[in-house]
Copies of this chain bind each other. A is one copy, B any other.
């Protein structure tokens, strides 16, 4: 069967672009053979090692390499070693690290729900993760125990035709910046991508469906969903009726996918498949200056040392913090046009204001005068306040013009008051240590470390990258 046969009814122009992409991303037979050979070696080594343990354990290859859905050049092999549930957690961790260190002597320990070993083997990046051999649908001992079930469910449903479509969809999602379930990206996971292709049948069918999605969209392959989810996209996990596989997907990424699905259906282009790392450009100082000049806004940046936490902790905290500070500024009467958060060695909470300064007074409208008790309280509160204009009457209400607490947003950001905003815990600690506020033109100082982030900020596109 040629690659094109399954795409009945899809226009040849689209088909041509997809073929061009497949030429780049389909692993060739040499790559597949190398992968199989390496996996076979790993499996043998692990099995031998496990035989020395006083418990039995089996070896399960998981992830995209197990399902043939990896993109050419990906070198990631994920192996789970499943121990019986009788084994206590300490022993599981001990055996898990022992087999990992033995098979991947140059590897090192990392930590998800258990510690595991990650290392290179014959040029491949291998994760060797211990887990419990729980029954599908039974109580999980930890989230990683779910992974082998995903694998089992998918193995019988992903043939080469489906796998090819999954690869194209993954490449597309990467190209538009919507691939990855990490908490920085909040996009589509590999597993979700696979389930979507299985659900709709092929790449184009997924795009055609997505182009018409009216969130909330609910997909329940096994028709066994038990929980209500407050998410725009709900794909019930075939191996766990209470779980939404798409829970981490942000509304923006779902909209982004919808947008590019329509764009591609209308006019197929290879550029939609170009991933951010292929496209990103560092913004130079002159370009930043030009944007500042052109926008006429008042951007401000809180800059501080990135706390030493993983990205999945860091980015949610950065988002929470910048939103908290935005809300605090808005409460003080400042208008915010856009915000962002960047992180590298330093972290940046970036807030672009309409104006740096507000007038010294703010209008404060009281209750309707007919509501006698409240109205009287309001009047009495301000009647003798020399710092307040009024109370006077406008229509059916009392009005005063009060002194504003903060007339300079930069002064607010430099003050202790920001600690009353909703901040992520580790961000709050980092700010309490020390931080700098860059105001307006001073933000060009960010260019050397955050040139790429500034490009994304000042030259925003639908893909966000």
* A residues adjacent to B (C-beta < 8 A): 211-215, 232, 251-252, 254-256, 258-259, 262, 294-298, 337-338, 354-355, 357-361, 363, 369-370, 372, 376, 379, 389-398, 401, 407, 458-462, 464
Query: What distance in Å separates the Cβ of A251 from its nearest Cβ neighbour in chain B?
Result: 5
Residues of the B chain whose Cβ atoms lie less than 8 Å from the Cβ of A258: 369-370
Residues of the B chain whose Cβ atoms lie less than 8 Å from the Cβ of A212: 372
A354 to chain B: closest residue by CB: B359
> Is B359 in contact with A338, judged by CB distance below 8 angstroms?
no
> Is B359 in contact with A337, judged by CB distance below 8 angstroms?
yes
> Is B259 in contact with A396, judged by CB distance below 8 angstroms?
no
Residues of the B chain whose Cβ atoms lie less than 8 Å from the Cβ of A394: 252
7 A-B pairs with least C-beta separation: A296-B360, A392-B460, A296-B359, A297-B359, A255-B369, A251-B395, A255-B393
> Is A252 in contact with B395, judged by CB distance below 8 angstroms?
yes
- If over half of A's interface residues share one DSSP class (helix, strand or loop), that class is named, otherwise mixed; here it is mixed
Could you list 28 examples of A-B contacts with CB < 8 Å? Answer: A211-B372, A212-B372, A251-B395, A251-B396, A255-B396, A258-B369, A259-B369, A262-B372, A294-B360, A294-B361, A295-B359, A295-B389, A296-B359, A296-B407, A297-B359, A297-B360, A297-B361, A337-B359, A337-B361, A337-B363, A338-B363, A354-B358, A355-B357, A355-B359, A389-B458, A389-B459, A392-B460, A392-B462
Query: What distance in Å separates the Cβ of A332 from its nearest Cβ neighbour in chain B?
Result: 13
Give 7 A-B pairs besides A256-B393, A390-B461, A398-B462 with Cβ atoms closer than 8 angstroms. A214-B370, A254-B396, A255-B396, A295-B359, A338-B401, A355-B357, A392-B462
The interface centre, meaning the residue of A254, A360, A459, A460 with most chain B CB atoms within 10 A of its CB, is A460
Query: What distance in Å separates the Cβ of A198 from its nearest Cβ neighbour in chain B?
Result: 24
Residues of the B chain whose Cβ atoms lie less than 8 Å from the Cβ of A355: 355, 357, 359
Q: A389-B460, A396-B251, A462-B392 are in contact. Are A296 and B354 (CB under 8 A)?
A: no
> Is A391 in contact with B462, judged by CB distance below 8 angstroms?
yes
Please give the count of copies of this chain that the complex contains.
2
CA distance A376 to B261 in the complex (A): 12
A387 to chain B: closest residue by CB: B294
> Is B215 in contact with A361, judged by CB distance below 8 angstroms?
no
> Is A337 in contact with B401, judged by CB distance below 8 angstroms?
yes
Q: A262-B376, A376-B262, A389-B460 are in contact. Are A232 and B396 (CB under 8 A)?
A: yes
Residues of the B chain whose Cβ atoms lie less than 8 Å from the Cβ of A461: 390, 392
Residues of the B chain whose Cβ atoms lie less than 8 Å from the Cβ of A214: 370
Residues of the B chain whose Cβ atoms lie less than 8 Å from the Cβ of A389: 295, 458-460
Query: What distance in Å separates the Cβ of A159 from its nearest Cβ neighbour in chain B?
Result: 33
Query: What distance in Å separates the Cβ of A295 from its nearest Cβ neighbour in chain B?
Result: 5
A335 to chain B: closest residue by CB: B335
A253 to chain B: closest residue by CB: B393
> Is A393 in contact with B360, judged by CB distance below 8 angstroms?
no
> Is A464 in contact with B297, judged by CB distance below 8 angstroms?
no
Select A213's contact among B255, B363, B370, B462, beta carbons within 8 Å. B370
CA distance A354 to B369 in the complex (A): 26
Query: What distance in Å separates the Cβ of A395 from its nearest Cβ neighbour in chain B?
Result: 5
A212 to chain B: closest residue by CB: B372
Query: What distance in Å separates the Cβ of A347 from its nearest Cβ neighbour in chain B?
Result: 22
